[in-house]
Structure 1
Amino acid sequence: MGRTTDMGRDGGDHRQSGAAAGMTPARLPDAAWQHAEGLKKLLATLDDAHGGPRYVGGAVRDTLLGLSVSDIDIATALLPNVVMKRLQDAGIKAIPTGIEHGTVTAAVDGKSYEITTLRRDVATDGRRATVAFATDWQEDAARRDFTINALYADPKSGEVFDYFDGLSDLEARSLRFIGDANQRIAEDYLRILRYFRFLARYGGGQMDADAIQACANGAHGLTALSRERIAQELTRILALKDPVASVTLMIANGIFTPFLPELSASAANDLLRLVKREAQCAQPVSLAARFLALLTRDIVAVDKVAARLKLSNKMREGFAQRLRADAPTPANIRAIAYRADIDTARDAAMLYASDTELPECLARLEQWNVPTLSIKGGELIAMGLPAGPLVAKTLQAIEAAWIQEGFPDATRQRALAVEMVDAALPKKA
Structure 2
Amino acid sequence: MKPVSNAKWTHRPDLPVLIAALGADECRYVGGCVRDALMGHEANDVDLATRHHPDRVCVLLKEAGIRTVPTGLEHGTVTAVLDSGPVEVTTLRHDVETDGRRATVAFATAWEEDAARRDFTINALYAHPETFEISDYFGGLDDLAQRRVRFIGDARQRIREDHLRILRYFRFHARFGSEPADEEALAACRELAATLKGLSRERVGWELQNLLALPDPSPTVARMADIGVLAVVLPETGGVQVNRLALLVTAEREAGVAPDAVRRLAALLPPDPAVTDQVAARLRLSNAQKKRIARIAERKDGDGADPRALAYRLGMEVARDRLLIGGSPVDLLKGWEVPALPVKGGDIVAAGVGAGPDVAKVLRVIENRWIAEGFPEEARTRAILAEEVAALA
Q: Shorter chain as normaliser: what TM range? A: over 0.9
Contact 2:204 2:283 in 1 (8 A): yes
Aligned to 2:101: 127
Aligned to 2:350: 382
- The alignment partner of 1:73 has SS state of strand
The counterpart of 2:229, out of the listed 240, 247, 255, is 255
1:139-154 equivalences in 2 (<5 Å):
139-154=113-128
- The alignment partner of 1:257 has SS state of helix
Cα distance in 2, alignment partners of residues 38 and 247 from structure 1: 41
Distance 1:348 1:27, change over 3 A: closer
The counterpart of 1:232, out of the listed 181, 197, 206, is 206
Aligned to 2:339: 371
**Deviation for aligned residue 1:228:** 0.4
Question: Across the two proteins, how many residue pairs are aligned to each other?
Answer: 392
The percentage of aligned residue pairs carrying the same residue is 49
Cα distance in 2, alignment partners of residues 324 and 269 from structure 1: 19
Runs of 4+ deviating beyond 6 Å: none
Cα distance in 1, alignment partners of residues 6 and 367 from structure 2: 61
Q: What is the letter of the counterpart of residue 203 of structure 1?
A: G
Runs of at least 5 residues in structure 2 that lack an aligned partner in the other structure: none
Cα distance in 2, alignment partners of residues 33 and 310 from structure 1: 33
Q: 1 or 2 for the larger relative contact order (CA 8 Å, sep ≥6)?
A: 1
The counterpart of 2:21, out of the listed 37, 45, 51, is 45
Cα distance in 2, alignment partners of residues 293 and 330 from structure 1: 16
Aligned to 2:285: 311
Aligned to 2:186: 212
**Deviation for aligned residue 1:328:** 5.1
Question: Which range is displaced more, 52-61 or 202-211?
Answer: 202-211
The counterpart of 2:381, out of the listed 401, 413, 421, is 413
**Deviation for aligned residue 1:226:** 0.6
Cα distance in 2, alignment partners of residues 201 and 104 from structure 1: 28
The counterpart of 1:56, out of the listed 30, 38, 46, is 30
In terms of fraction of residues, the more helix-rich structure is 2
- The alignment partner of 1:37 has SS state of coil
- The alignment partner of 2:170 has SS state of helix
CA offsets, 1:356-404, max 9 Å, x none? Answer: xx2xxx2210111111112122221222111111111111111111111
**Deviation for aligned residue 1:29:** 4.3
CA RMSD of aligned residues (A): 1.6
- The alignment partner of 1:258 has SS state of helix
Cα distance in 2, alignment partners of residues 400 and 167 from structure 1: 62
Aligned to 1:19: none
Aligned to 1:171: 145
Which has more radius of gyration? 1
Contact 2:92 2:110 in 1 (8 A): yes
Q: What is the letter of the counterpart of residue 191 of structure 1?
A: R
Q: So what's the TM-score if we normalise by structure 1?
A: 0.88
CA offsets, 1:216-263, max 9 Å, x none? Answer: 111111111110000000000000111112111111011122232101
Runs of at least 5 residues in structure 1 that lack an aligned partner in the other structure: 1-25
**Deviation for aligned residue 1:323:** 2.7
Contact 1:327 1:353 in 2 (8 A): no
Q: What is the letter of the counterpart of residue 207 of structure 1?
A: A
Aligned to 1:349: 323
Cα distance in 2, alignment partners of residues 264 and 332 from structure 1: 31
Cα distance in 2, alignment partners of residues 183 and 422 from structure 1: 79
Distance 1:29 1:379, change over 3 A: closer
Cα distance in 2, alignment partners of residues 332 and 288 from structure 1: 23
Cα distance in 2, alignment partners of residues 264 and 191 from structure 1: 23
Contact 1:78 1:117 in 2 (8 A): yes
Distance 1:105 1:222, change over 3 A: same
Cα distance in 1, alignment partners of residues 174 and 206 from structure 2: 16
CA offsets, 1:112-165, max 9 Å, x none? Answer: 101100001000000010000110111100000001101101112221111111
Aligned to 1:202: 176
**Deviation for aligned residue 1:424:** 2.6
Contact 1:333 1:365 in 2 (8 A): yes
Aligned to 1:333: 307
Q: Does 1:30 align with 2:6?
A: yes
Q: What is the letter of the counterpart of residue 390 of structure 1?
A: D
**Deviation for aligned residue 1:100:** 1.4
